[in-house]
Amino acid sequence: MDMKTKPAISAVRVNGERLWASLMELAQIGATEKGGVCRLALTELDKQGRDLVIGWAKQAGMTVTVDKIGNAFMRRAGRNNALAPVMTGSHIDTQPTGGKFDGNYGVLAGIEVVRTLNDHGIETEAPIEVAFWTNEEGSRFVPVMMGSGVFAKAFTLEHAYAATDTEGKSVKEELARIGYIGPEEPGDHAIGSYFETHIEQGPVLEDHDKTIGVVTGVLGIKWYDCTVTGMEAHAGPTPMALRKDALQVATVLMQEVVATALRYGPHGRGTVGMVQVHPNSRNVIPGRVKFSIDMRNSTDALVDAMDADIRKFAADLSAKTGLPIQIELVSHYPAAPFHADCVAAVAKAAEALGYSNMPAVSGAGHDAVYMARLAPAGMIFIPCKDGISHNEIEDAKPEHITAGCNVLLHAMLERAMAP
Ligand SMILES: [Zn+2]
């Protein structure tokens, strides 16, 4: 950038009303009575949403390619098209009781960035791309973050194609039916850097009254199945000292899950969300309890330390009570710290624009997690009302929607002007 263009570019702002109008228009496809959106991946409604967004991209002069898992890449050429694009994106599929903003905001913010660059005749050095990734929500088809996962080679295209919904329809059949199996090989598409704007889906920004969350990374997660084995016996005739009550022992361990998360703050999370008591009868001492443990933290080392603590506690508890305790790891998602340069670009843009901001971590998965394996990546959070999402009442303020998009614009410009 030379000195003549620099002040002009720093003064550029997105058109918040236009972005809001596009969000509301997309939200009509699959609109629910309670003001939310139900647009499950690869349904007829998903096709309509995809077609609408791609139509907007073409109106903005972008070229569109689709890959074999249905990820769409909408491209605005740069001065040097040999450079890998500065990309942004998210998803437009929703939960069955989804809202208007989760995912959709990240995609349409990207479209608004391009519309703004067009309005002001700004040419970037590197191309700009906006992507939407197939089946991020994982509601109709598992695994979640499917399109970005195939793209990042976290699992194969065949694995994703074979996934079926509850009616037995496969991803491949449904992609073909809606016309979204493109020619491009997933992952065969360079990315210079990647940004994703998203509603926070938690209450921290609202609680701190901040407009922008500068996301430093996504929490690592470990999921366990835990089983405590005791002995069923009659609740009346069996004296307290002679019982092997699996539930009493299990609840001690459950309390420790929460205590462990609290010890490993500020980002430690510990949740027992699923409990099965056997035989689940009022007058029988529980003989077996199975429950889930979900532990999260900001680095893999911290998650591993929590893992070691809970296993040691369980071993001691088992020795003390004489009841076998089994802890089985069933899933592991590594922590994904974002790239320092992208985090800095977001923070710098938020500061320059005068928006209140704070560092944030994401407790939920996002497509950006997979992109971070391929290229420098970062995320921008804005508050959502009461921290609620995956719910029809999900809401965000227009001024926050606009602010997040302005941060995206300037973070992307920083990367795309002098890549
Ligand atoms: Zn999302």
Spacing, Cα 292 to ligand 1 middle (Å)? 24
* pLDDT score recorded for residue 419: 60
Spacing, Cα 254 to ligand 1 middle (Å)? 29
Spacing, Cα 379 to ligand 1 middle (Å)? 12
Spacing, Cα 171 to ligand 1 middle (Å)? 19
Task: Return the biggest CA–CA distance within the chain.
Answer: 90
CA distance 351 to 242: 65
Residue type for 314, please? A
Spacing, Cα 291 to ligand 1 middle (Å)? 27
Q: Which residues line ion ligand 1, judged by CB < 5 Å?
A: 102-103
Helix (H, G, I), strand (E, B) or coil at 49: helix
User: pLDDT tens, position by position, for the chain (419 residues)?
Assistant: 444 455 589 999 999 999 999 999 999 999 999 999 999 999 999 999 999 999 999 999 999 999 999 999 999 999 999 999 999 999 999 999 999 999 999 999 999 999 999 999 999 999 999 999 999 999 999 999 999 999 999 999 999 999 999 999 999 999 999 999 999 999 999 999 999 999 999 999 999 999 999 999 999 999 999 999 999 999 999 999 999 999 999 999 999 999 999 999 999 999 999 999 999 999 999 999 999 999 999 999 999 999 999 999 999 999 999 999 999 999 898 998 999 999 999 999 999 999 999 999 999 889 999 999 999 999 999 999 999 999 999 999 999 999 999 999 999 999 999 76
Nearest residue to 14 via CA among 309, 397, 388, 401:
401
Instruction: For residue 191, give every residue at least 6 positions away whose Cβ sits within 8 Å of its Cβ, in sequence order, or none.
Output: 84, 85, 87, 129, 371, 374, 375
Spacing, Cα 136 to ligand 1 middle (Å)? 7
* pLDDT score recorded for residue 331: 86
Output helix, strand, coil percentages for the chain, rounded to the nearest 5. 35, 20, 40
Spacing, Cα 108 to ligand 1 middle (Å)? 13
Q: List C-alpha distances in Å: 342 to 127, 292, 413.
A: 17, 35, 12
* pLDDT score recorded for residue 418: 76
Spacing, Cα 104 to ligand 1 middle (Å)? 8
Contact predicate 303/340, CB 8 Å: no
Spacing, Cα 167 to ligand 1 middle (Å)? 24
Instruction: For residue 183, give every residue at least 6 positions away whose Cβ sits within 8 Å of its Cβ, in sequence order, or none.
Output: 65, 66, 67, 68
User: Computed over its alpha carbons, how large is the radius of gyration of the chain?
Assistant: 24
CA distance 363 to 114: 29
Task: Count other C-beta atoms under 10 Å from residue 158's C-beta.
Answer: 9
Spacing, Cα 29 to ligand 1 middle (Å)? 17
Spacing, Cα 176 to ligand 1 middle (Å)? 24
Strand partners, 275: 291
User: Which residue carries 């991209």 as its tokens?
Assistant: 57
